[in-house]
């Protein structure tokens, strides 16, 4: 595929570019702060940068009729509304976490949440010290899957890509469900899978759960 990267100079942007090129895809659009280079029309644009870049990302998708894979965190309801408007023109895959493991846990929580309806529940998460949103979009994904308001404890320390633990407890038992991202490469791999999956779509709004579900069929 021909693809573009928003925030190509960032940590995730560099990982995505390296992995996609290794898999035989061609980068034809490079975008970063005050910098844009385009050599061809991208079929897919990947954005893991900042919510501040969203208006420009949407503009580029419309201009190039390119599908969008977006993993930007901290999006507002207004931002999501803008993406859903864009999805009437191109296909969009939006998720706060592109890890296969986290999205499998979301599926598990959604399936079994009623069994834990009478249990106490807490979510603990740790991310690297440069992460701006707190709690993370992933923590809110987990809370939404459980379908009730849950206390979320967040820490921002060191270079940890992402640790998430969901605790369910009653008076005599404790169940812990945990996920640890060992490297940011797991998110680049997810972005690759999402981009390849989205390539055949014409328009519509999707999440990484759609990719996972198709793989489970």
Binding residues: 7-12, 32-33, 71-73, 95-98, 128, 137-138
The enclosing H or E element of 103 equals helix 100-112
Query: Which position among 25, 127, 164, 179 bears the catalytic label?
Result: 127
Q: Which of 51, 56, 131, 193 is flagged as catalytic?
A: 131
Q: Can 179 be counted among the known catalytic residues?
A: no
Sheet holding 174-181, edge to edge: 151-156, 120-127, 162-169, 174-181
Please spell the DSSP secondary structure of 107-153, one letter per residue. Answer: HHHHHHGGGGTTSEEEEEEEE-TT---SS-HHHHHHHHHHTS--EEE
Handedness of CA 58, 61, 67, 68 (dihedral sign): negative
In the annotation, is 131 catalytic? yes
Question: Residues forming the annotated binding site for NADP(+)?
Answer: 33
Looking at the annotation, which residues are catalytic?
Answer: 127, 131
């Amino acid at each position: 595929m021909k693809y573009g990267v928003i925030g190509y100079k960032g940590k995730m942007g560099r990982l995505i570019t390296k992995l996609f090129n290794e898999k035989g895809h061609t980068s034809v659009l490079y975008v970063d702060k005050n910098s844009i280079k385009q050599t061809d029309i991208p079929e897919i644009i990947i954005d893991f940068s900042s919510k501040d870049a969203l208006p420009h990302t949407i503009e580029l998708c419309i201009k190039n009729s390119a599908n969008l894979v977006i993993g930007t965190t901290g999006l507002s309801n207004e931002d999501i509304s803008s993406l859903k408007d864009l999805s009437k023109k191109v296909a969009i895959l939006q998720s706060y976490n592109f890890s296969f493991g986290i999205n499998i846990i979301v599926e598990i929580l959604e399936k079994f949440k009623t069994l834990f309806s009478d249990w106490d529940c807490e979510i603990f998460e740790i991310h690297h010290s440069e992460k701006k949103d707190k709690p993370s979009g992933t923590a809110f994904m987990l809370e939404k899957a459980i379908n009730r308001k849950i206390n979320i404890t967040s820490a921002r320390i060191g270079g940890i890509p992402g640790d998430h633990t969901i605790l369910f407890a009653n008076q005599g038992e404790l169940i812990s469900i945990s996920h640890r991202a060992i490297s940011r490469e797991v998110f680049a791999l997810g972005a690759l899978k999402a981009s390849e999956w989205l390539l055949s779509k014409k328009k519509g709004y999707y999440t990484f759960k759609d990719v996972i579900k198709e793989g489970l069929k």
